[in-house]
Structure 1
């Protein structure tokens, strides 16, 4: 399978939200700063009509996706919202919904946020890369129980071919042009959440 250059701009974006659940709230490093990043990306994805894929891990024990995100998940562009036991989000159900790169379909540019960086986010990213998709891991949108696990995982994923980036950078890359029809809405969202983004980057960009 041909390798897609990381120098190529985003062409076919999709948002993956990995296991941002209630039971993780007290355990995950800086969980409260993860929420605004996920909210911002989810809001923008809805404005841009970007496909969204959401998972929970063992929902009966670990709880549903947090309420802060739930209100934004009842939209047609949410292609999957499933519970799983696999650590990877690339479950058979979700894989059946993705473009088949091996059959010549355009690969996704997956923007991923969630937890834990070194387990579910890592295995999802590797699975998507293996299938020919590109992955943008949002540094201010992923975390783990132990902060140190983040840097180890992000270094591995960069080596594997993922793009390690920030939420603001990836949103403006999706827009690509100030003439985009959603520019005012998305740029306004970025401006409104400037302080939350700054707070997230202050803790999460130290990798």
Structure 2
């Protein structure tokens, strides 16, 4: 499952490297179709903080994207509200991919909740951010210690593919090539000098 955590309009001007977060998020959302990855979206107090940003909405419309399983507003910091939890498959542990905001608040609490439910959590280092970059690095270290896997968007996509014989390989490979420059810039900004 791909969890899109609170990437909202109100955060656009205050989040560290917000445009780079958007390019990574867009790439991952484009890849959900050939990889058949379900998408769960939340917003934090939508009436106050705005909708999910417009750049992502073409990939998050449940009427045109069958992979969208939920688009919920919340007041809890964690995405794992009772409503969202009720929508999650229960037959086996999930592989949850998290992108969004803010790393040290909503992303952290979502990750801890998913881990406590026995799920595997992959946090995309070039797909999460906070107002203060220092909060981001501390949160990623904490979440790694708690059992989450910290990875990058490109590494994750090829891990999901697993095999060049996968039916989605060409489309995902093309997407990775097309976004190579943007990915490089996002990695420099988010992972360049940190020890995550």
TMscore range, shorter length: over 0.9
Once the two structures are superposed, the pairs formed by residues 1-207 of structure 1 within 5 Å of their partners are 14-74=1-61, 75-100=65-90, 105-205=91-191, 206-207=193-194
**Residues of 1 paired with 2:128 and 2:67: CA distance?**
22
Cα contact 2:9–2:50 (8 A) shared by 1: yes
**Residues of 1 paired with 2:131 and 2:31: CA distance?**
27
TM-score, with structure 1 as normaliser: 0.90
Aligned-pair distance for 1:46? 2.1
**Residues of 2 paired with 1:88 and 1:58: CA distance?**
12
The gaps in structure 2 that reach 5 residues or longer are none
Tell me, what secondary structure is at the counterpart of 1:71? helix
Tell me, what secondary structure is at the counterpart of 2:56? helix
**Residues of 2 paired with 1:92 and 1:106: CA distance?**
18
Q: How many residue pairs are counted as aligned between the two chains?
A: 190
**Residues of 1 paired with 2:33 and 2:3: CA distance?**
13
Per-residue Cα deviation, 1:39-79 (whole angstroms, up to 9, x for no partner): 00011012222110000101111110011100111211100
**Residues of 2 paired with 1:62 and 1:139: CA distance?**
23
**Residues of 1 paired with 2:55 and 2:128: CA distance?**
16
For the aligned residue pairs, the C-alpha RMSD in angstroms reads 0.7
The gaps in structure 1 that reach 5 residues or longer are 1-13
Which 4+ residue blocks in structure 1 deviate beyond 6 angstroms?
none
TM-score, with structure 2 as normaliser: 0.95
Aligned-pair distance for 1:163? 0.2
